[in-house]
Amino acid sequence: MIYADNAATTRLDSKAFEAMKPFLLDSYANPSQPYGFSRESKKAIKDAREDIASCIGAASNEIYFTSCGSESDNWAIKMMSGERGTIVTSVIEHHAVLNSCRAMEKLGHEVNYIPVDPSGLIKLEILNAAIKDNTQLVSVMFANNEIGTIQPVKEISDIAHKHNCLFHTDAVQALGHIPVNVHELGIDMMSASAHKFNGPKGIGFLYIKNGVKIPSFIDGGGQEKGLRAGTENVPSIVGMAKALKENCTHMEENKEWLFALENQLINGLLQTGIDFIRNGSENRIPGNVSLSFKKIEGELLLHRLDLMGICVSTGSACDGKKAQISHVIKAINVPEEYAKGTIRISLGKDNSAEDIGLIVKALQKIICPIAYK
Ligand code: PLP
């Protein structure tokens, strides 16, 4: 099996797994209890919070654990729009942001969805013009999950702050893959998810800058400073911190490796003579390769590749049985004859040059007899 769907989820880092084990089997105490047995879980959470904070240039009391990236996005969007304040976001956000915005619209809030250019970048002058006097929140993703495009985050936060708005970014695809420093970038809130950087599934965090006032998302006990109740998922918190530290330590070498694999993939495909477009901007998340092939269905490619033991994803969301072109592929205006043939190959640090050779051969075997018959 060749796994090339790392933007969907990643394999758990073995060091993260080892770090989690004691908190599953031995130190399983509820960290909120006052007795000595809970001391280790309490300390593990404190250490994890500090480690995560140091990876993103934050203070440890600015990290709030959540159950996933979607929860972090929901919290930031649904709790921050205040009294009928408007929200400005982009058309290519993940559905965790888009559907949270739709929920806010139902409550009477106005949401302004700004367009992107063909490489998936928002235009700063459009953002600037979209912000109104009553805009409270600007939410633009750090990097796109389908096409990998990295937004000019510092410039976006500068514009948001110039208008006295808060700036939230969904960094689920960026964190652990490219440098992220919340203070240098002027980020007020940032969503993250462990399973996208070789941590466990079902754990994430929301960075909330000190001084930003946000209502609680889950009411209950006093966990996470009373803002996000629920007994802490200690093993996963520990695993998330370890995985993030590992990824940040090896970021440069991982990036180089992934760029080498991407080049091999693109050059290999070019040599086959297959007609395709590569989507996204020049500045992309390492390993994210979105390709649109002419005269072929992405769904068909995905299933044929699956039969050959290769896992990729389509750029399309499935609506029942009808394959649709995704909102991102539509937003970047991929020409119609290519748009339906979009797949996302997202490479990870465990992929090899041999994997790439096999992916190219498989695509050639599938596409050439169909598109060039
Ligand atoms: N935001 C982005 C950009 C994503 O890619 C994803 C997952 O694909 C999410 C949010 C949701 O993260 P989670 O799966 O942890 O809820």
Q: For residue 244, what is the DSSP state? A: H
User: Exposed, middle or buried: residue 258 (CB in 10 Å: 0-12, 13-18, 19+)?
Assistant: buried
Backbone angles phi, psi at 9, to 5 degrees: -170, 165
**Residue located nearest, by CA, to atom 8 of ligand 1:** 8
Residue 368 has a pLDDT of 86
User: Exposed, middle or buried: residue 149 (CB in 10 Å: 0-12, 13-18, 19+)?
Assistant: buried
Spatial separation of the C-alpha atoms in residues 30 and 28, rounded to whole Å: 7
Residue 316 has a pLDDT of 56
pLDDT digits (tens, 9 = 90+) for 32-69: 999 999 999 999 999 999 999 999 999 999 999 999 99
CA neighbor of 166 nearest in space, from 134, 139, 133: 139
Centroid of ligand 1 to alpha carbon of 39 (angstroms): 32
Spatial separation of the C-alpha atoms in residues 228 and 250, rounded to whole Å: 32
* 165 belongs to the catalytic site: no
Residue 24 has a pLDDT of 97
**Residue located nearest, by CA, to atom 7 of ligand 1:** 8
Report the nearest atom of ligand 1 relative to the CA of 145.
Answer: 5
Residue 315 has a pLDDT of 63
Spatial separation of the C-alpha atoms in residues 51 and 20, rounded to whole Å: 15
Beta strands 189-193 and 166-170 are parallel
Spatial separation of the C-alpha atoms in residues 320 and 343, rounded to whole Å: 19
Given a contact cutoff of 8 angstroms between Cβ atoms, the answer to whether 353 and 261 are in contact is: yes
pTM greater than the 0.85 cutoff: yes
Task: Report mean pLDDT in 10-residue bins for the chain, 373 residues.
Answer: 97 98 97 97 98 98 98 93 82 98 94 98 98 95 98 98 97 98 98 98 98 94 96 98 98 98 98 96 97 95 97 70 84 96 97 98 92 69
Centroid of ligand 1 to alpha carbon of 54 (angstroms): 22
Residue 312 has a pLDDT of 98
Report the nearest atom of ligand 1 relative to the CA of 143.
Answer: 3
Centroid of ligand 1 to alpha carbon of 154 (angstroms): 22
- Ligand 1 binding pocket (C-beta < 6 A) is 68-70, 73, 94, 96, 141, 145, 170, 172-173, 193, 204
Select from 90, 172, 175, 206 the residue to mutate for testing ligand 1; criterion: most ligand atoms less than 8 Å from CB: 172
Give the SS3 label for residue 371. helix
Spatial separation of the C-alpha atoms in residues 172 and 165, rounded to whole Å: 22
Given a contact cutoff of 8 angstroms between Cβ atoms, the answer to whether 151 and 158 are in contact is: no
Spatial separation of the C-alpha atoms in residues 245 and 223, rounded to whole Å: 24
**Residue located nearest, by CA, to atom 12 of ligand 1:** 69
Report the nearest atom of ligand 1 relative to the CA of 8.
Answer: 8
Helix (H) or strand (E) holding 363, with range, is helix 353-371
Residue 317 has a pLDDT of 52
Residue 322 has a pLDDT of 60
Residue 117 has a pLDDT of 98
Select from 173, 191, 195 the residue to mutate for testing ligand 1; criterion: most ligand atoms less than 8 Å from CB: 173
Centroid of ligand 1 to alpha carbon of 145 (angstroms): 8
Centroid of ligand 1 to alpha carbon of 18 (angstroms): 25
Q: Which long-range contacts (CB under 8 A, 24 or more apart) does 269-275 make?
A: 269/360, 269/363, 272/360, 272/363, 272/364, 272/367, 272/368, 274/363, 274/364, 274/367, 274/368, 274/371, 275/371
pLDDT digits (tens, 9 = 90+) for 94-144: 999 999 999 999 999 999 999 999 999 999 999 999 999 999 999 999 999
What one-character-per-residue DSSP string does 296-347 give?
S-HHHHHHHHHHTTEE-EESS-EETTEE---HHHHHTT--HHHHTTEEEEE-
Report the nearest atom of ligand 1 relative to the CA of 73.
Answer: 10
Centroid of ligand 1 to alpha carbon of 197 (angstroms): 11
Beta strands 322-323 and 318-319 are antiparallel
Select from 66, 196, 290 the residue to mutate for testing ligand 1; criterion: most ligand atoms less than 8 Å from CB: 196
Report the nearest atom of ligand 1 relative to the CA of 70.
Answer: 16
Given a contact cutoff of 8 angstroms between Cβ atoms, the answer to whether 171 and 190 are in contact is: yes
Report the nearest atom of ligand 1 relative to the CA of 93.
Answer: 3
Please report, for residues 11, 247, 260, 310, the alpha-carbon distance to residue 253 in angstroms, rounded to integers and kept in the order given.
Answer: 18, 10, 11, 25
Spatial separation of the C-alpha atoms in residues 181 and 314, rounded to whole Å: 31
**Residue located nearest, by CA, to atom 13 of ligand 1:** 69
Centroid of ligand 1 to alpha carbon of 9 (angstroms): 9
